[in-house]
Amino acid sequence: TSPFGSHVVERALKRVDAALDEMDEAEYERARELLTRLNAEVCSQLGEFVTDRFATFAARRLLVVACGREDVLPSTKAQRQGQVAPASKKAGAASAPAGGLAAKVDGGQGGQAGQPTAREPRFPDMVSAAVAVMTREDYVGDNIAEIVYSTYGSPYAQGLLRACSYDRRLVTSLVPIVLGASYLNDSAKGGRVLEGVSSDTFDTLVRDTTGSHVVEAVAEVCPPPLLEELHTRFFAGNVAKLAQHPAANFALQALLAAASSKDMVASMYAELAPVLAELLRRQRGGVVAALVAAAGRTGCVQRELCGTLAAALQAHAPWAGRPGAWRVAVSAALCVNCWSGAKGGFEG
């Protein structure tokens, strides 16, 4: 928890991470045992470690080592602005994904573009141990709130969510906790996993400048049934308001980027269509771009969206001189293909 000590630990972990692939079997096993003991020490005081202004960086670095990849942690400012970040050698990526508008409109099928794929961690037991601590009953309520609302603890919570994305069981157990569930239902199925999370608790979290990033990570890692429940319980009926909120709009963008259901995308379009012009006026072009990408990815409401977006732009003519949000919307609209059955081709 000292600035010098945490820096030394973080640098040492980086060196170990870089050396793991070059170790022989005996050296690798000794390193694994050492890292497991260190992880157990962190887990013994997880809340204190991850919310400490110095210790949190060592805890995050240990999570990266456990996963064998850098991209579980929140992206840097450069990545958010669309610059390519250095790729982790052991992540196996030939090139780093682009962020910004390209990530929104050029997404993969049914997932968020530019986000880490669900790969098993290098040391899954270390990830499971951290999840086991975060999902204990004594973390329900105040303890988890101290983490997700902390500028130091929130990045760790986001990283842990991404780290366990390979295992639906871990995701399903962790998501209700970080969203502020007041109680847990271990056998919850069929749209009841999040029943312990109140609407007020979620609304406070998604509108918080720090907590909203946790909701973004939740949207990224939720399997389709849980994502549907997240939308139905907390976003449906509130999409237009959340889209105009300075913090919550990013969580909505993450939900749109992860959506693979035509019904979900159509529902969100229905709520956003009346306010598209207002979103552009208020510089919320990211929401519009995410909606366009979702429509193109799922193949629904494309023609309707093009018409609505055109009307929104015309309502504020001349729009060419407007700031960046207008360019984002127009660029995104150009990526939407509308299939015309009568003509047997695509219409822009």
Under 8 Å between Cβ of 6 and 42: no
In a domain, 229, yes or no: no
pLDDT in tens, 226-270: 999 999 999 999 999 999 999 999 999 999 999 999 999 999 999
In a domain, 53, yes or no: no
Q: Quickly list DSSP for 116-180.
A: PP----SSHHHHHHHHHHHTSGGGTTHHHHHHHTSTTTHHHHHHHHHHTTT-HHHHHHHHHHHTT
Distance CA 178, CA 189 (A): 18
List Cα–Cα distances, 22 to 31, 61, 125, 145, in angstroms.
12, 19, 22, 40
Task: Name the CA dihedral angle for 239, 194, 142, 258, rounded to a multiple of 10 degrees.
Answer: -50
In the predicted structure, residue 325 carries a pLDDT above the cut 50:
yes
**Number of structural domains the chain divides into:** 1
In a domain, 70, yes or no: no
The CB-side HSE value for 321 (13 A sphere, CA atoms) comes to 2
In a domain, 314, yes or no: yes
In a domain, 196, yes or no: no
Q: Quick one: pLDDT at residue 1?
A: 62
pLDDT in tens, 326-347: 555 555 555 554 443 333 333 3
Q: Quick one: pLDDT at residue 328?
A: 54
In a domain, 312, yes or no: yes
Instruction: Please state whether the predicted TM-score (pTM) of the whole model is above 0.85.
Output: no
Cα 190 from chain centroid (whole Å):
23
User: Which residue matches tokens 């909505």?
Assistant: 252
pLDDT > 70 in the chain, percent: 76
In the predicted structure, residue 93 carries a pLDDT above the cut 80:
no
In a domain, 272, yes or no: yes
Q: Which domain holds residue 305?
A: 261-348
Helix (H) or strand (E) holding 47: helix 46-51
Distance CA 114, CA 111 (A): 9
In a domain, 146, yes or no: no
